[in-house]
């Protein structure tokens, strides 16, 4: 069995996370038992939710245990199998974590899933045709539930979730407006992702200024909003929401360092009769097949062309993760492990 490099959470961050919170270790991969498979990971997914799990605080999921491999999605290849459900050479997606190899109990429901790379690149199963894409699909379809002609807004517009949201929204005949950081990301949003408009939040120092830009980009108001950021962005969007608008609350990356994020205009939720609903996509596994089918078709047809930022080597994961939290990535953030 191969020697396995892996990264553990060595200590919990105080305020901003840093490279010193992680430690790179090596260990011998254990021999397989009946029903298990050995997977060599090709790509590791880095996602904002990982920052929240580094804290020892109450949340929707248990904190990342200290001294254990950082949790995370992976795609790779079955190297050895003692399960009749998998064979060497199968390409698979799972939650292998920040490591080169994983031993997976193949009989555990949802632990490992075969994927077809004929029309969809393997790495996309960690982004557009994976958890981020399904996240966008659920928030749009099940919470916002738009009608053709309505106006939708999404923050972190050029990330893995935002880019999928744009394609899904346009497929439903909606006007889709993004909020992103920097002119290059905004150009990419409009020219390649199909957004009708994109606002550079870095050009606005407060919620009132950002709300004015939203007014110009959304002259008919906002009917549905997908929130990944919180803070000033959510304050600005609330000022432009139409009556009976819907907000799918997926991420609050502005508050991952533990700072409070009070709403400036909470009364608008009442006066505009808004529906605001938070969700965790892993709690809705029943919708994944339908969502993945549509997302795979969008990628295969070229209507969804996600961009990836790829760091090289497991040792690069901590720096790449910290860059993700600061918006340095362009599209889905991955780590290539082979």
Q: Cβ distance 161 to 135 under 8 Å?
A: yes
Given a cut of 90, whether residue 119 has pLDDT beyond it is no
What's the CA angle centered on 99, arms 93 and 101, to 5 degrees? 65
Mean pLDDT of the chain: 94
Q: Which residues of 203-213 are buried (b: 16+ CB within 10 A; e: fewer)?
A: ebeebeebbeb
pLDDT at 114: 95
What is the pLDDT, as a whole number, of residue 281?
93
The 3-state DSSP class for residue 217 equals helix
The residue with tokens 């997302």 is 295
Q: Where are the domains of the chain?
A: 3-127+306-336, 131-282
The mean pLDDT of 182-200, rounded to a whole number, is 96
131-282, CATH topology level: Rossmann fold (3.40.50)
DSSP 54-104: HS-S-SSSPPPPTTSBPP--EEEEEEEE-STT--TT-EEEE---SBSEEEE
Q: Which residue has the tokens 């060599």?
A: 40
Q: What is the pLDDT of residue 98?
A: 98
The conformation of residue 69, written as its DSSP 8-state character, comes to: B
In terms of DSSP H, where are the helices of 59-120?
none
Instruction: Report the distance separating Cα 118 and Cα 98, nearest Å.
Output: 26
**pTM of the predicted structure, to 2 decimals:** 0.89
- pLDDT on residue 215: 98
Q: Which pLDDT belongs to residue 9?
A: 97
Q: How far apart are CA 226 and CA 139, in angstroms?
A: 7
Architecture of the domain whose range is 3-127+306-336: Alpha-Beta Complex (3.90)
The whole-angstrom separation of Cα 136 and Cα 229 is 14
């Amino acid at each position: 069995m191969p020697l396995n490099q892996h990264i553990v959470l060595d200590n919990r961050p105080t305020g901003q996370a840093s490279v010193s919170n992680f430690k790179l270790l090596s260990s011998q991969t254990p021999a397989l038992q009946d029903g298990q498979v050995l997977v060599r990971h090709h790509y590791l997914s880095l996602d904002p939710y990982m920052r929240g799990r580094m804290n020892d605080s109450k949340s929707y999921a248990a904190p990342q245990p200290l001294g254990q491999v950082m949790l995370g999605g992976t795609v790779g290849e079955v190297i050895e199998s003692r399960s009749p459900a998998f064979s060497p050479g199968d390409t698979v997606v799972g939650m292998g974590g920040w490591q080169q190899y994983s031993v997976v109990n193949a009989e555990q429901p949802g632990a490992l899933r075969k994927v077809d790379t004929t029309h969809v690149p393997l790495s996309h199963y960690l982004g557009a045709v994976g958890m981020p894409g399904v996240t966008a699909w659920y928030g749009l379809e099940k919470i916002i539930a738009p009608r053709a002609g309505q106006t939708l807004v999404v923050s972190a517009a050029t990330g893995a979730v935002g880019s999928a949201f744009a394609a899904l929204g346009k497929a439903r005949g909606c006007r889709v407006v993004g909020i992103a950081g920097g002119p290059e990301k905004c150009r990419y949003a409009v020219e390649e992702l199909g957004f009708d408009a994109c606002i550079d939040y870095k050009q606005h120092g407060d919620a009132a200024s950002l709300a004015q830009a939203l007014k110009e980009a959304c002259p008919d108001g906002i009917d549905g909003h997908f929130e990944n950021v919180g803070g000033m962005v959510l304050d600005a969007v609330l000022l432009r929401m139409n009556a009976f608008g819907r907000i799918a609350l997926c991420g609050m990356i502005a508050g991952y360092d533990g700072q409070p994020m009070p709403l400036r205009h909470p009364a608008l939720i009442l006066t505009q009769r808004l529906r605001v609903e938070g969700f965790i996509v892993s709690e809705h596994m029943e919708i994944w097949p339908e969502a993945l089918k549509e997302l795979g078709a969008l990628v295969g047809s070229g209507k969804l062309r996600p961009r990836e930022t790829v760091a090289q080597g497991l040792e690069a994961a901590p720096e790449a993760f910290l860059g993700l939290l600061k918006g340095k990535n362009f599209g889905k953030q991955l780590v290539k492990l082979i």
